[in-house]
A and B are shown apart, each in its own frame.
Chain A
């Protein structure tokens, strides 16, 4: 029997990081898109901001262990940094804070629920993390009130839609490919299949 080690196993860490690096590429490509949408003004760009929280949601949905949400977000943002993100070092610090807040939400549910509701709450947590950084960096509290309300609303809605609802649909599609079998305990159906 394998000795139960504390924390994540190497296989969990490696898959989390690999998933995160895939999203690191997407995060990097998302940057120019975000800037392009931002030209239209009225905080339309905030609607797609939520993509930057998806690595933690998806890693949590697939691997379902404590710590993977934080690790995934840190790995994705460092991947983005290494590829030369247009925000530079900022993405790494944002990644740490966002991952931490998403992780706290999942911890609050004791890593037992893996549905759209919890993941959306995780996305909301990550959004709050990003807003805390924005308050320091961008003086967003100095925007006119109607403008700030629009800003906040757009970011929260975008986060829930992309890192909540969309992440769940991605995870479901990935479950169908069978790659997540490694982390799931054998079910009753599996034993029945053996007896058939």
Chain B
């Protein structure tokens, strides 16, 4: 949810948020159970293409969003490559022991981290919080007191960021050194949390007074339904997975079909 970045609304924005969430969670578990690196590489590539052309953000924004994913890819893959178990040794150097098995397993989990990351990024780039929670209430019967609490909390985010900035200035003015790990977390967390809790309690009183906690039937300002793009969404992902599987099995890049 990037407030400051302008983006073009694509068809992914128009899909039903609950359906999109369910489809992506199903894909998440599907990716967890892919053990063939060829299939997984295809899935990652397909998701990458969708991320580049389906989310409607300019190329430079996409580049900066993608950079941390690349770091995760490298760090996840390297640890398994160097310290994994295997029989066909390639390099042995002190504790580092690279084998063919561990190398490909490392590549595999690197791509898996990439695919899972892209799934989340595609979701958060194309979903606005308000339609998401309205849809969760209407389609998945999330209780209104939970959904509206989430929405109220999301609205508090900018205020929290402002307070964070204020605390930083205050500490600088008082000459508090800007270092320390957990003590630094504490220095910021205590004022931020206590202010937020006070504010939350006040908002809760107001919301209870307006019957947001009620359990009776509600009407909604936004009615979220389904449209033709929802059929596209399901069809596209089904086709992508099938194509990735078919190509991966019949035209493999590498001869390993199971990294376990």
Contact = CB atoms under 8 A, between A and B. Distances in A.
Interface of A: 5, 9-11, 13-15, 17-22, 25-26, 31-32, 35, 38-39, 41, 43, 45, 62, 71, 75, 78-79, 81-93, 136-139, 142-144, 147, 162, 166, 169-170, 173-174, 177, 179-180, 182
Contacts of B157: 21, 25
A107 to B, nearest CB: 20
Given A9-B213, A84-B125, A173-B190, 14 more contacts: A14-B201, A17-B150, A17-B153, A18-B153, A18-B196, A21-B154, A21-B156, A22-B196, A79-B153, A82-B124, A87-B113, A88-B69, A88-B120, A88-B121
B7 interface: no
Chain B contact surface mostly: helix
Interface string B55-86: 00000000001001101100110111011110
Q: Is the interface of A mostly helix, strand, loop or mixed?
A: helix
Interface string B173-207: 00000000010011001101110111111011101
Interface stretch (B24-32, B222-230, B232-240, B245-253): B24-32
B199 A90 contact: no
Nearest to B199: A18
Contacts of B125: 84
A78 B207 CA distance: 22
B178 to A, nearest CB: 15
Interface residues of B, number: 72
B124 A35 contact: no
Contact of A22 (B65, B189, B203): B189
Contacts of A92: 120
